[in-house]
Amino acid sequence: MRPYAVPAYADLLATVDPTNVPATRVTGAEPVVTATAQRVDVDVSTDAGVLRVVCVRSGARWLVATLGVREEVAPR
């Protein structure tokens, strides 16, 4: 994962036990949630729910900055 994540997040991911990750496969990607020239947030559907993936630009590359369960927005 180190080549695909910002250094601090790669360090954090190195401490994760893969057996504790409930998702086993990606089931689809939803449209981009927000995007700027330096950051993009996208929701990715998995067999364990929807994850929010935040990527940031690092030179000519995009790297994962955070990944977590998407927070549901309460209806108004």
Q: What is the pLDDT of residues 19-75, one digit of tens each?
A: 999 999 999 878 799 999 999 999 999 999 999 999 999 999 999 999 988 766 545
* pLDDT score of 9 more than 50: yes
The pLDDT score that the predictor gives to residue 1 is 83
Q: By the 8 A CB rule, do 26 and 45 touch?
A: yes
Where exactly are the structural domains of the chain? 2-14+26-69
CA angle 72, 74, 76 (to 5 degrees): 150
pTM over 0.75: yes
The contacts of residue 38 (CB under 8 Å, 6+ apart) are: 56, 57
The pLDDT score that the predictor gives to residue 60 is 94
